[in-house]
Structure 1
Amino acid sequence: MAGPIRHPIPLDSLTDYIRQNVPVISLPLTIQQFGYGQSNPTYLLTSSNTGAKYVLRKKPPGKLLSKTAHQVEREYKVLKALSEAAQDLPVPKVYCLCEDADVAGSAFYIMEFLDGRIFEDPALPRVTPEERAVMWKSAIVTLARLHKIRPEEHAALKSFGKPSGFYGRQVRTLSTIEAAQALVKDVQTGVEIGKIANFDEAMKFFSTTQPKDRSTVVHGDYKIDNLVFHKTEPRVIGILDWELSTIGHPLSDVSNLLSPYQLALEAGASVMFGETKGLIPGATPGLPSRQQVIEWYTQASGWNILPSEMYWGDAFGFCRNAVIVQGITARAARRQASSAKAGTYSERTPKLVALAWKYVSIDLLHLRSLGC
């Protein structure tokens, strides 16, 4: 999935930095850029001498819209801390963090390259039905393993967030980001991105009605395409893209992972959001049901998620994803987008926003009927 470079890196200064700070990497290097990575440009480094491969992730070029996004420094630190706190958690090894923008144009870090499989389609095509079930179980059990880490027991993790009030902070942060992104203008047309319809009303509800507070290490964007599976075996060997990791509510990760199941039930979802129709019940042999995945999580984590909590998590997750997609659209308008597919999100944004509010409206009515 690595190919032409869309965001150039000064190879000479990068090579000098690696020579002085990361001697384990044999020089010279060839560089390619991955097609994925909506937030931070991601590159494949290959040693011309040994053939060894490494991954470099850096902040986008230019002035950034949000101080809370593109935190490659945070990503490096959490990967380093987790590798020390939980040896059974599959996270890539990190080699260095460089915060000197003069080296590569912006802050970056280098980690190991995991030679495995990445699936954009959560229905996991091109595997047997038996493997499909085991792979989904591996994905959710790996998440439960992350959530069982006690941040208060590890000095390096305690600083990643506050031990309570996660969703309240999320509401405030998302509101600030949404307002800033709405004002972004396309550099060619001058047209503003605009506010997300009904967003403020939804945030008002979420600020006053929340599930029981819980606290653990959360990934922040846990989903199938952020996992690396073994090349031939049905198991997770790596979790990628940790820039949103914090101390927070585990429901946020669970609902994010399971959101494609909800999208699959929407007419035209495969056109709007990529291949999700394979998750329609009965469409893909061996694919576990959403409820089965939740039960696996309960068994592995020891936390029984209430149906009302999942409803709330779904509603909040769709609003949060609307802000994320709004951000991708904003970066594309400013010509700062990292992914080769970023342009397509401009077309999906209004449809995703409408779908998000639809789910919020349904879930709010359900939640009010439950009195939660």
Structure 2
Amino acid sequence: MSHPVLSFTEAQRRHPDEAMIARIRDRYPTEPEIDAVLTRKMRRRRGDPYKAVPIERLVAGVTAMIGEELGYEAQVSNARWLSGGASKLQMVFDLAWRGLDGQAPESVETLVLRMEPAASVTESSRRREFEVLNAVQGVIPAPRPYWVDPEARHLPYPGMVYAFAKGAAKPSVGVEKVSGLGQNYGPELRAKLAPHFVFLLARLHTVDPGECTAMASFMQAQEGSNASVIRQVNAYRRIWEEDRIEEEPFLEVVYQWLIAHAPPVDRPSIVHGDYRSGNFLFDEASGEITAWLDWEGAVIGDRHQDLTYATLPTFQHLSEDGRSVLASGMMPKDDFYAAYEAASGLPVDPVRIRYFEIFNRYLVCVLTLAASARASLQAGTHQDVLVNFVSQMGHTAIADLRERFLEVTR
């Protein structure tokens, strides 16, 4: 069933009213928690632009949040900003406390506050990120979550507190890449990291999400149904409608194709959503991955989404021989898929691979040309310079999408 095209002015996008928000919500239905986050983003846009948050304000907020959760007074000290990432505001601090039940001997633990700015590259739910981190404990190395303030009762914006994870984000030698994009780990470290990179993805995807009671704000994906895929496509189409600063008619063609060709999920999996180079910490000596980060895009869906995301051109580079292209700096794409099949026991379906190659390229275009551009334009983030840089990557991304779309659809 076709619908008339929605049409909004730049002034409406800058200051959306409830009628505009309601029309977009109705046109592009998605998961309730994602709907709530995107609706909050639009309402927040009518307010003041982002203002720098003093670290003292965060210390006061996190102290109040932790005290309420624990039921006794714990001491926050040595607060300092934590760099890294292109979307969230992070503060690392030390907590002197007596454990969750208040009965343990007093000790000091280093923790991280991860909080939203007024706008970001990826508008996401701290509640969902908190839940998925709980669900994967003992399955895949990830920071242990402690507390979440999903409605910003104590903090300026929604945030969560989790354990500080140890490890390096990049090699000690070599060229540093923005957010790890195209990071080259070098042949020696790569040989250690690559098998663990594949093994952990296989472990994640073989968990039964139906048994993950912690993930209460996630809608389950049903085997044999494409409804979960369509909900995700609609979420990104909604972001495009809300955030874009210029028209790109080709993206509407791709959206319609993604809806018409959405494959049924053959086996529901927990999908990380941003599984790639630059999003994990590692021990450089052993080559062991010590923590997977940035779970904000996690969904319950199709494993092929993670597989094709890790192989996007943005995250690859040539090997030292100048002939092989290494997916996420690890191994050639075909070798990656073969290693994944061996590690997981799950098939890699070429039809679903082609679909999610288009899906992920569409996602990148939306997040760069719309979400990033809007966040920078309206001064909604502490990362204006970086977010503006990310938005310019959208022009390369849409050219890559067009090329792959024509290959798949011809």
Q: TM-score, normalised by structure 1?
A: 0.78
Structure 2 equivalent of residue 267 of structure 1: none
Structure 1 residue 234, shift from structure 2 partner: 1.1
Cα deviation per residue 1:275-323 (whole Å; 9 max; x = unaligned)?
x455863488x95222111111111111221333322221221111111
Structure 1 residue 169, shift from structure 2 partner: 1.5
Structure 2 equivalent of residue 350 of structure 1: 395
2:230 paired residue among 168, 172, 188: 168
2:82 paired residue among 34, 44, 55: 34
Please say which of residues 356-365 and 155-164 is displaced more in the overlay: 155-164
Q: Does 1:76 align with 2:130?
A: yes
1:146 and 1:217 in contact (8 A); partners too? yes
Task: Provide the identity percentage.
Answer: 20
2:163 paired residue among 93, 97, 112: 112
2:336 paired residue among 287, 290, 293: 293
Q: How many residues align?
A: 331
Structure 1 residue 142, shift from structure 2 partner: 0.5
SS in 2 for 1:54: strand
Distance in 1, Cα, partners of 2:72 & 2:166: 18
2:182 and 2:277 in contact (8 A); partners too? no
Distance in 1, Cα, partners of 2:164 & 2:120: 29
Structure 1 equivalent of residue 27 of structure 2: none
2:116 paired residue among 59, 64, 87: 59
1:72 and 1:109 in contact (8 A); partners too? yes
- Counterparts of 1:201-216 in structure 2 under 5 Å? 201-214=253-266, 215-216=268-269
1:178 and 1:195 in contact (8 A); partners too? no
| 206 and 48 in structure 1: CA distance in 2 versus 1, 3 angstrom threshold | same
- Counterparts of 1:124-273 in structure 2 under 5 Å? 125=184, 127=186, 129-157=187-215, 160-164=218-222, 165=226, 166-182=228-244, 193-214=245-266, 215-260=268-313, 264=316
Return 5+ residue gaps in structure 2 as ranges.
1-50, 98-106, 171-178
Question: Residue 235 of structure 1 aligns to which amino acid in structure 2?
Answer: E
| 31 and 328 in structure 1: CA distance in 2 versus 1, 3 angstrom threshold | farther
Structure 1 residue 69, shift from structure 2 partner: 2.8
Structure 2 equivalent of residue 190 of structure 1: none
Cα deviation per residue 1:114-173 (whole Å; 9 max; x = unaligned)?
11011344665455x243023122112101101000012233346522323222222222
Return 5+ residue gaps in structure 1 as ranges.
183-192, 265-275, 366-372
1:133 and 1:288 in contact (8 A); partners too? no
Q: Does 1:335 align with 2:379?
A: yes
2:74 and 2:95 in contact (8 A); partners too? yes
Structure 1 equivalent of residue 147 of structure 2: 96
2:149 and 2:158 in contact (8 A); partners too? yes
Distance in 2, Cα, partners of 1:51 & 1:158: 31
2:80 and 2:92 in contact (8 A); partners too? yes
Distance in 1, Cα, partners of 2:233 & 2:325: 36
| 123 and 351 in structure 1: CA distance in 2 versus 1, 3 angstrom threshold | closer
SS in 2 for 1:238: strand
SS in 1 for 2:193: helix
2:277 and 2:315 in contact (8 A); partners too? no
Distance in 1, Cα, partners of 2:238 & 2:353: 25
Structure 2 equivalent of residue 361 of structure 1: 406
Distance in 2, Cα, partners of 1:142 & 1:106: 32
SS in 1 for 2:203: helix
| 158 and 108 in structure 1: CA distance in 2 versus 1, 3 angstrom threshold | closer
Distance in 2, Cα, partners of 1:130 & 1:138: 14
1:38 and 1:328 in contact (8 A); partners too? no
Distance in 1, Cα, partners of 2:65 & 2:188: 46
> What do you get for the CA RMSD once the two structures are aligned?
3.1
Q: TM-score, normalised by structure 2?
A: 0.72
Question: Residue 259 of structure 1 aligns to which amino acid in structure 2?
Answer: L
SS in 1 for 2:79: strand
Structure 1 residue 89, shift from structure 2 partner: 1.8
SS in 2 for 1:356: helix
SS in 2 for 1:92: coil
